Amino acid sequence: MLIRDSFRQHFYDVIKKDHVLVLTNGDVDALCATRILTHLFACDDVAYSLVVIDGWDSLGRALEEYAKQIHTAVLINCGSNRALTNFDFASNMTLYVVDSRRPYDLDNVYADENVRILANGIELDELKCPEAKELFESSEDDEEEGDGKRSLEDIERRAVKRARRQQWCTRRNDLLWDYYENSWYSISSAVLMLEIAHLLGKSSAEAMWCAVVGLNSQLVDHLITLEAYTAVCIDRLRPFIRRYSPKNISAMKGDDVLRISFDKELPLAMYAHWSLYKSMITDEHFVCRTQFWQQRGEARMRSLLSTLGLTLTECKQMYSALSYERKREVSDILQKEFNSSFASFTAVVGYCNKFNACDFARALCARLEVGLTGDESLHERFSASMHILRKFLGGVHGDGDLISLTKAIELYKSCLESTVAQVFMVVNQSIILSTGPFFLLSLPQSEEVKLLSSRHFLFAFASFVLKAFCMTSRLKSRSSRPLIVAIPMSGDYAGWFKVTGVMPFGTEYADSNHKSFIGRAFERVVEHTTARSVRRDSFDSTVILLKAEEKSRFFEGLQAIMEIA
Q: CA angle, corner 545, sides to 540 and 549, nearest 5?
A: 155
Cβ contact 458:500 at 8 Å:
yes
Nearest to 424 by CA among 311, 284, 277: 284
Contacts of 381 (CB under 8 A, 6+ apart): 26, 367, 368, 369, 371
Asked whether residue 524 is domain-assigned, the answer is yes
- φ, ψ for residue 109 (rounded to 5)? -60, -40
264 strand-pairing partners: 343
Number of domains within the chain: 4
Asked whether residue 166 is domain-assigned, the answer is no
Cα 244 from Cα 240, distance rounded (Å): 6
Q: CA angle, corner 273, sides to 279 and 354, nearest 5?
A: 130
Q: Domain check: are 12 and 106 in the same one?
A: yes
| Listed residues 406, 426, 446: the one ending a domain | 426
| Per-position DSSP letters for 11-34, written without gaps between them | IIHHHTTS-EEEEEESSHHHHHHH
Q: What is the largest CA-CA distance in the chain?
A: 97
Q: Residue 430 — left, alpha, or beta (φ > 0 → left; ψ -120 to 50 → alpha)?
A: left
Cβ contact 497:486 at 8 Å:
yes
Give me the sheet containing 355-356, strands edge to edge.
Answer: 258-264, 343-349, 355-356
Cα 506 from Cα 459, distance rounded (Å): 17
Domain span at residue 299?
Answer: 266-338
Asked whether residue 237 is domain-assigned, the answer is yes
Residue 10 vs residues 16, 111, 211, 259: alpha-carbon distances, Å:
11, 16, 22, 33
DSSP-derived pairing of the beta strands 115-119 and 2-4: parallel
| Listed residues 426, 450, 474: the one ending a domain | 426
| Per-position DSSP letters for 285-350, written without gaps between them | HHHHHHTTTSTTHHHHHHHHHHHHT--HHHHHSBGGGS-HHHHHHHHHHHHHHHT---EEEEEEET
Q: Domain check: are 416 and 458 in the same one?
A: no
Which CATH number does the domain housing residue 10 bear? 3.90.1640.30
User: Kind and range of the H or E element at 385?
Assistant: helix 378-394
Q: Domain check: are 126 and 218 in the same one?
A: no
| Per-position DSSP letters for 451-511, written without gaps between them | GGGSHHHHHHHHHHHHHHHHHT---GGGGSS-EEEEEE--GGGTTEEEEEEE--GGGTTT-
Nearest to 427 by CA among 500, 477, 483, 481: 483
Asked whether residue 552 is domain-assigned, the answer is yes
Q: Domain check: are 322 and 364 in the same one?
A: no
Residues of the chain with pLDDT under 70: 138-150, 248-256, 350-352, 395-401, 509, 531, 565
Q: Domain check: are 91 and 114 in the same one?
A: yes
Q: Answer whether 0.85 is exceeded by the pTM.
A: yes
Amino acid identity, position 260 = I
Cα 30 from Cα 9, distance rounded (Å): 23
Cα 120 to the chain's mean position, in Å?
18
- 3-state DSSP assignment of residue 555: helix
Asked whether residue 152 is domain-assigned, the answer is no
Q: Domain check: are 30 and 67 in the same one?
A: yes
Q: Domain check: are 327 and 446 in the same one?
A: no
Nearest to 13 by CA among 48, 39, 57, 44: 44
Q: Domain check: are 98 and 8 in the same one?
A: yes
Asked whether residue 162 is domain-assigned, the answer is no
- φ, ψ for residue 433 (rounded to 5)? -105, 145
Asked whether residue 140 is domain-assigned, the answer is no
> What's the pLDDT score for residue 140?
54
| Listed residues 131, 151, 180: the one ending a domain | 131
Q: Kindly state the DSSP code that residue 105 receives in the 8-state scheme.
A: P
Q: Is 512 exposed, middle or buried (0-12, 13-18, 19+ CB in 10 A)?
A: middle
Q: Domain check: are 219 and 362 in the same one?
A: yes
Asked whether residue 139 is domain-assigned, the answer is no
Q: Domain check: are 400 and 531 in the same one?
A: no
- 3-state DSSP assignment of residue 106: helix
- φ, ψ for residue 409 (rounded to 5)? -65, -45
Rounded-to-10 torsion of CA 405, 279, 328, 219:
-70
Cβ contact 562:520 at 8 Å:
no
Give me the sheet containing 496-502, strands edge to edge.
Answer: 433-434, 439-442, 483-488, 496-502, 544-547, 534-535
Q: Domain check: are 255 and 295 in the same one?
A: no
Residue 149 vs residues 153, 154, 374, 526: alpha-carbon distances, Å:
11, 9, 74, 46
Which CATH number does the domain housing residue 529 bear? 3.10.310
Nearest to 348 by CA among 250, 203, 233, 204: 250
Cβ contact 556:529 at 8 Å:
no
> What's the pLDDT score for residue 363?
97
Q: Domain check: are 388 and 281 in the same one?
A: no
